[in-house]
Structure 1
Amino acid sequence: MSSPPIDMREREELCDLLAELGPDAPTLCEGWTTSDLAAHLVLREHFKLGTDERMAAEKAKGLPALIDRLRDGAPLVPWRLPGLRTLMNGVEYLIHHEDVRRANGLGPRTDRPDLDALAWRMTGFLGRRAARQIRPYGLELRRPEGEPRRFGPAGGAVLQGEPTELLLYLSGRREAAEVRLAGDADAVAALRDANTGV
């Protein structure tokens, strides 16, 4: 029996964790509780802008109702189309699952090579974006195994860690990401000052 797609698995595990923690648990998203995060995910998947009014209306339905909507799955188009589902929804759920896990004392998951593969794929986009912000310096991403990725000139900032940790750092979850930052001091300072959050 084949395993479910990454986005479905991350969705189910996140829903389980939300149900376990309740509506008022913290997340890494500044100012957001678990209820806020669940409301955001419901609105995002149904193409509704997350205005304060809409967020409040969704949250008023209660966390159990939001979890039920999330468990029902995303609309077919585009979130369940092959190729898009993993890259777009898989990454979204991976990051937000970690937002809840890390804010509540749960550490990295080391038993998910498929998550690291997905995270490494996404670091291409986020690494390029971060490198543009720290020009004229370059950025190199290093994972424990495999070739590194370099954006811009050599000799800049070097960010090392497991792919999921690199993804968290590059998506603005810096304090929670288990990474090592080295390289040229000015490039490192520029990366620390860059707004890489998504």
Structure 2
Amino acid sequence: MTKSSSSGLTRRALLGAFAATAVAAAPTYSKAAGFLRGGGDIRRIRMYSGRTGERLDMIYWVDGKYIKDAVKEVNHFMRDWRTDHVKSIDLRTIDIMAASHNLLDVNEPYMLLSGYRSPQTNAMLRARSRGVARKSLHMKGQAADLRLSSRSVSQMAKAAMSCRAGGVGQYYRSNFVHMDCGVVRTWRG
């Protein structure tokens, strides 16, 4: 039996109202991307490529909108450097990378090991390594392999996993973390 408070609300009614508010305020998957981006008005991605020597320090989202030219630069930066093919990188992947970087609280840019991979590059890498998936999300522009010298594989993976927005692979021997916007899952390579 519940007792009434002086305001006339029962404990059960108060808990029910709280639960309804919590459910209504919980992010749906369609709004989860905004939630995982860190909720800031400005979103930024910082990377460099040891393969090409290029650097990127880009604000790609401001006040609820992606900046088209900035996204084009990110796409070019994350291209298949072996073939020079550019593919549109899934914005969810960029958001996961940026949110994870923010959670790690570092100024160091990511080292991009692999972004987009053409089918030819993926087949070549697959022939050399068992760790390369035949239907890799890299070929769809939905994955990135990243490294930070100031953070461990475990720290990077925990940050990416906390976004609960895609796959996170931990590659300790090669010292990198795979982040993608596919099904939420984790593995060790």
Does the alignment reach a TM-score above 0.5?
A: no
With structure 2 as the length reference, what TM-score do the two structures score?
Answer: 0.31
Whichever of the two has the greater Rg, that structure is 2
As a proportion of its length, which structure holds more strand? 2
As a proportion of its length, which structure holds more helix? 1
With structure 1 as the length reference, what TM-score do the two structures score?
Answer: 0.30
